[in-house]
Amino acid sequence: MPEEGVPLTPKADLLTTEEILTLARLFVKEGVDKIRLTGGEPLIRPDVVNIVAQLRQLEGLRTIGITTNGINLARLLPQLQKAGLSAINISLDTLVPAKFEFIVRRKGFHKVMEGIHKAIELGYSPVKVNCVVMRGLNEDELLDFVALTKGLPLDVRFIEYMPFDGNKWNFKKMVSYKEMLDTLRQRWPELEKLPEEESSTAKAFKIPGFQGQVSFITSMSEHFCGTCNRLRITADGNLKVCLFGNSEVSLRDHLRAGASEEELLSIIGTAVGRKKRQHAGMFNISQMKNRPMILIELFLTLQDSPPAVLSISFRDSLHVQGLRHRVSRSHQMVTLWEGGGVPQTPLLAQWWLGAGLPQRHYSSHPDSDANPKCLSPEPQAPATPSGPLPASGQLTHVDTEGRAAMVDVGGKPDTERVAVASAVVLLGPVAFRLVQENQLKKGDALVVAQLAGVQAAKLTSQLIPLCHHVALSHVQVRLELDSARQAVVIEASCRARGPTGVEMEALTSAAVAALTLYDMCKAVSRDIVLEEIKLISKTGGQRGDFRRT
């Protein structure tokens, strides 16, 4: 949802129930065999169950689908299933509750999870989950989304970020299909491609042994215009023959003017006949004037398969969010989903570990087996390596002539790398009390610092010039209040499989989390001290393991 919201279409301009059904009958008569109700959000229409029931009566219509944000799905799905709904797509761009709220501008993450589980419970298989992937927003959650398919009959569909009015599209923020596929294959090299269905918009893959599958919708990097057979009608009755085209024809106006069926078919045929062989390409599209995505797909999508009399042509339903710079990584929902649980409150809202009020703890991984005490406040002994750590006669990031140089890791083997780092923020009595009671005017300092730490870990190579980019498989940031020192103790853990270690990612995560706490509290006190930023342990790599004792 754009930050400024979207203009609401006056009710009089929207297609009525009867107008929707009239157009549906016309298209089904001409060979369309699948209709998808989409949005915006179709489940806010009070007549949506009735529309599905009426569509079900159309002879020749084989599939009635819906694309929804999922917030009202659990409540309405039993009625919709009884009415005849046969396919479900749920738009979900993140598995992190706090990030979800930032994207959609409202709470409701747990309702979406409940809706997905309700769909599985009622026998829908697969349940399609649409995820628009954007660099700097959620590309770090790819592995977590895929992990959901291990125990659940989901088709997780990764969609390339596409340009529309208001979403501030930028090529650098688009993550291509091949880049996503490479990331998945690093974790699951056994990933296998499935045969492509006729006129499918998605490239499907499956991990052997997993219940569900993964798909990619490659609208930007590898368009599928030549086999596309989709047509879209907006909520206000305009016909679009291409999602990326800016030309529209008002079927509503012709309907209300009393056009006959033959006249409507002629108008539709003319519009479809003007459909271009392929869209203009991502860079030209980004300069075109077009509706915001949330206003393009406001209710009805029709699709024929195989191409029918009108040769109508369109794309599957997508739900693209306006881009904002957001944070965090999610491993937590994987555990919850595999256990079949549905969170009843936002997971990052408040986790009280221990017996009493003085101890507030935050962790980006609630199922950790670690001791609730992140770190001991007691003085620590000097660090000692726990494995071979050969001495080096020179700095590794300097060449023979003394110039800065990035280490070549091309010949190193891929191994599992884990690193843990810590930091301490001495707040002082006033700031400590406000953080403990969650009374800061800026908001919950522990949640914000936790998210900042996760974001920093994945951006380390952009902050530290000679660091290699690492595809992190897991990030965990834990924060604990230490009332004895009036401090917050931070522990950051990073994991990846690759040729280089992740200690810089862990250190950057802890340091940025500490800086964020300072920023959250500086209006209350400037007498805040950041200290003890240090590596606690690292495992993996040729130089052996290290553990601070």
The reply to whether omega before 126 is within 30° of 0 (cis) is yes
Q: Which two tokens stand for residue 363?
A: 């962790």
* Residue keyed to tokens 């006669």: 393
User: Quick one: three-class SS letters along 131-166?
Assistant: EEEECCCCHHHHHHHHHHHHCCCEEEEEEECCCCCC
Report strand pairing: 213-217 vs 249-250. Answer: unpaired
The pair phi, psi for residue 312, each rounded to 5°, is: -70, 155
Whether 314 and 229 have beta carbons less than 8 Å apart is answered as yes
Catalytic residue among 369, 519, 527, 545: 519
The residue type found at 66 is I
Burial of 313 (0-12, 13-18, 19+ CB in 10 A): buried
Give Cβ neighbours of residue 211 (< 8 Å, ≥ 6 apart): 149, 150, 151, 152, 153, 154
Concerning whether 519 is annotated as a catalytic residue, the answer is yes
User: Quick one: three-class SS letters along 347-380?
Assistant: CCCCECCCCCCCCCEEECCCCCCCCCCCCCCCCC
Max Cα–Cα distance, the chain, nearest Å: 87
Q: Cβ atoms within 10 A of the Cβ of 403, count?
A: 8
Q: Which two tokens stand for residue 269?
A: 């045929």
Using DSSP's 3-state secondary structure scheme, residue 316 falls into coil
Residue-by-residue DSSP string for 150-211: GTS-EEEEEEE----TTS---GGGBPPHHHHHHHHHHH-TT-EEPPPPTT-SEEEEE-TT-S
The pair phi, psi for residue 385, each rounded to 5°, is: -70, 145
The residue type found at 136 is G
Q: Given CA atoms 500, 503, 506, 511 in this order, what sign does their dihedral have?
A: negative
| Cα dihedral: 186, 191, 196, 199 (round 10) | -40
Burial of 306 (0-12, 13-18, 19+ CB in 10 A): exposed
Q: Which two tokens stand for residue 545?
A: 């393991």
C-alpha distance across the termini of the chain, in Å: 49
Q: How far apart are CA 66 and CA 81, in angstroms?
A: 11
Residues assigned a catalytic role: 519
